[in-house]
Chain A
Amino acid sequence: MYRTTGIYIKNNKISKYKEIVDAGVPEVVYIPLDRHVGAPAKPVVSKGAEVKIGTLVAKADETLSVNVYSSVAGKVVETDDKLITIKTSEDIYEKSIDTSEGIITEIPDSKTLILEKIRKAGIVGMGGAGFPAAVKLDIPETCKIECLVINGLEGEPYFTADNRLMVEKAEEIVIGARIINKLLGIQNAIIAVDEENKDAVKALVGVTKRYIGVNVKAVKNKYPTAAETQLIKKLFNVEIPKTKLTRDFGYIVHNVGTVYSIYNAVMKNKPLYERIVTVSGDAADNPQNFLVRAGTPASYLANKAGSIDNARLLICGGVMMGTEISDVNTPISLLDGGLLMFKKAKKDTEASPCIRCGRCSQNCPVHLQPFEIADRLKIGDTPKLYKLRPSDCINCGICSYLCPAKIPLLDFIKMAKEQIR
């Protein structure tokens, strides 16, 4: 039946043509230890320790966890369960890291070695999910993977970091894809790129001509096509329920940023400690894409693109799914593709009664009934809530975005998730 395949949101990709710039080293970094999925990493350095770029500062606590590395050279001033604070000094790299410029194309032969390198490097899903990449790639024998999907779509308005990465590091990404291909024992990777990002498509197509097993596909980027299951639906017309993993259906999806990090980890021995972040919004005088070290305070980064004093509203992540931050020293983590600054604080909005327009349910990418979930939650009808399956929600925020009555539907759905847990 008639339903939408995503909605158009003004995408504001202002920084699309801005080259990636190194954001430099702030005076202090606060490296977060718990932003990934799974157990927080356990600190292995103590106060006063000298660290270099790429020094292991916290260790994976369980299988579902990741190692955390220092993004700067300097001295540890404080550690606790969640943060390691490091006062920076001049850049010195760990010796094991290959800092040379050239591109390495020779992929190691041993699958175990590749997987071990990815695991050790502390790579997480950089599209925002934060799932440990090594766990995702550790496929049991019973799963037969057919296709590797590399997600180059950025659903969030303003975000252009992945786009720039594809333009400037196309070859590394393609080699990264081949590394994963090798690990999975397949020759079939698809890089999905927003059809509007012509530069990225061109750059990648140019490179894929020289390598086998990697192809580029330009797709129309509505919101939220960039979400993993939505992308698979778009590419293969397969619907994967929330209770299943993509690998159960033969697909593995990785973000381009993750793939680039995998290249670095396997070929250059470089653990994950930095990423590309778009700094944008109407309070940014010069919206740009920065190479940012994990733990950089938001204020430092915001001042690189404008002045934080102009920003009344600061969002870590995107406008649809990110988090509003009040502390200007909030560290940027490896999962944040953007830091957005706006001149105006959010307007007061008051919810009015639902007028049953159906916008929320017609446009929900997983076909939920947000208005009904909100209703049942209010009257406390828990048995019915189970049936409405709020846990299938992918947090895209479309329902709240579209509701003409301005009901914060997503908030209610999150509460409903808690309720039936």
Chain B
Amino acid sequence: MSIRINPPHVIDKTSTKSIMLDVIIAMIPAMAVSVLFFGLNAMLVIITSVTACIALEYMCSIYWLKTKNNTQDLSAIVTGILLAFCLPGNLPLWMVIIGAFIAIVVTKMAFGGLGRNIFNPALAGRTFLFLAFPVQMTLWPKPNLRDFWNYDIKTGATALEIIKYSDVSTSATRLDNNEYLSSLPDYYDMFIGYISGSVGEISVAAILIGFFYLLYKKVITWHVPVFYMGTVFLIMYAVSLNSAEPIKYNSFLHVLSGGLMLGAVFMATDYTTSPMTAFGRIIFAVGCGVLTVLIRLNSVYMEGVAFSILIMNAFVPLIDKFTKPRIFGTGRK
């Protein structure tokens, strides 16, 4: 413990811990929605993920990095919740633990712990699971409000999967394809979150509440989410104008469903793995947006958020280097 003698003699109340706590609070609505719609399984995924992250972080910080108990700053809980948020609600729990291991041990602690990791831990964990267990990671349970104990789990495709596989040429008739597309959820369900998808991504409304809470608490600025989602929206809109199948590029669908909003609000805004300056953050967000569109349209994957953010994470040092502010009184006439 050290008492500071030097000025300033007062310091702001905001601390790493209070910031993490705010992020946790901001995620509560999304957690509540997922438990409501996906039932016990989703709850177990969240609890397992958080517990595993805390335990792993604790062990690493004590036995490996030999720092003090790092879990006190609550960042492990944030990572745990975020990891659970990008997993399907019925993922076997041992896979969740593997994801937590990749997130905390490999991505965070191996780089030196909080503040030193290059990649977003939760996304790295999810991406590892996605590549290792592609089948389980794309079995999305259908929401069911009346089935908390998960007696009857049906799985269904996400909206992005539906539009990805809609194809006029291969369907027998145009009518077939239209029927197929009619399984798309409507906007209202998407907004509330009564759709298939990963634990935390389903409800636009819940994520928006979290977003506004973070803005109000000044934990994040609007730049990253707005520029990220805006970029995806605009490119998709431009593409859909000249397309035979506008539904594939429906910009609303792309922004409202899938992990875009979750990623833009909670993952791309992570301090450690995003640039420091507002201008840098805008570059970062636009980069994420462009990559997301490219992946969604040109690859075999329907999602692109996790990959895009991870790729942009790697560019953060470079972006930081080129967006350094000029020092007061220099470089201006």
Shortest Cβ distance from A64 into chain B, in angstroms? 23
- Chain B hits for A315, CB < 8 A: 9
A323 to B15, CA, bound (A): 24
A10's closest neighbor in chain B, by CB?
B10
- Chain B hits for A348, CB < 8 A: 1-3
Is A397 a contact partner of B16 (Cβ separation < 8 A)? no
Residues of chain A at the chain B interface (Cβ within 8 Å): 1-3, 9, 157, 229, 233, 239-242, 244, 313, 315, 319-324, 345-350, 352-358, 361-362, 365-369, 389, 392, 395, 397, 400-406, 408, 410-411, 414
Is A397 a contact partner of B8 (Cβ separation < 8 A)? yes
- Chain A hits for B11, CB < 8 A: 349, 400-403, 406
22 A-B pairs, CB-CB below 8 angstroms?
A1-B278, A2-B278, A239-B328, A239-B329, A241-B329, A241-B330, A320-B10, A321-B8, A323-B7, A324-B7, A347-B3, A353-B115, A354-B115, A357-B271, A361-B276, A369-B276, A392-B329, A400-B7, A401-B10, A403-B11, A404-B15, A406-B11
Say yes or no: A1-B279 contact (C-beta < 8 A), given A366-B327, A389-B327: yes
A313's closest neighbor in chain B, by CB?
B9
Task: Give the contacts of B209-248 with A (CB-CB under 8 A).
Answer: 221, 223
Shortest Cβ distance from A391 into chain B, in angstroms? 10
- Chain A hits for B276, CB < 8 A: 356, 358, 361-362, 369
Is B5 a contact partner of A369 (Cβ separation < 8 A)? no
Is A366 a contact partner of B328 (Cβ separation < 8 A)? yes
Choice from B6, B8, B73, B330 contacting A319 with Cβ under 8 Å:
B8
Shortest Cβ distance from A394 into chain B, in angstroms? 9
Known pairs A321-B7, A401-B10. 18 more at Cβ < 8 A? A1-B278, A2-B278, A240-B329, A241-B329, A315-B9, A320-B8, A320-B10, A324-B7, A347-B3, A350-B1, A355-B75, A362-B277, A366-B327, A367-B328, A392-B327, A395-B7, A402-B12, A410-B8
A408 to B8, CA, bound (A): 9
10 A-B pairs with the lowest CB-CB distances in the bound complex, closest first: A241-B329, A397-B8, A366-B328, A358-B276, A2-B278, A239-B329, A348-B1, A367-B325, A353-B115, A357-B271
Is B14 a contact partner of A362 (Cβ separation < 8 A)? no
Shortest Cβ distance from B325 into chain A, in angstroms? 4
Chief secondary structure at chain A's binding surface: loop
Choice from B3, B326, B329, B332 contacting A244 with Cβ under 8 Å:
B329
* B116 proximal to A (CB < 8 A): yes
* B295 proximal to A (CB < 8 A): no
- Chain A hits for B277, CB < 8 A: 1, 358, 361-362
Is A324 a contact partner of B10 (Cβ separation < 8 A)? no
Is A367 a contact partner of B3 (Cβ separation < 8 A)? no
B276's closest neighbor in chain A, by CB?
A358
Is B16 a contact partner of A355 (Cβ separation < 8 A)? yes
- Chain A hits for B329, CB < 8 A: 229, 239-242, 244, 366, 392
Is B279 a contact partner of A2 (Cβ separation < 8 A)? yes
A345 to B75, CA, bound (A): 30
- Chain B hits for A240, CB < 8 A: 329
Is A404 a contact partner of B6 (Cβ separation < 8 A)? no
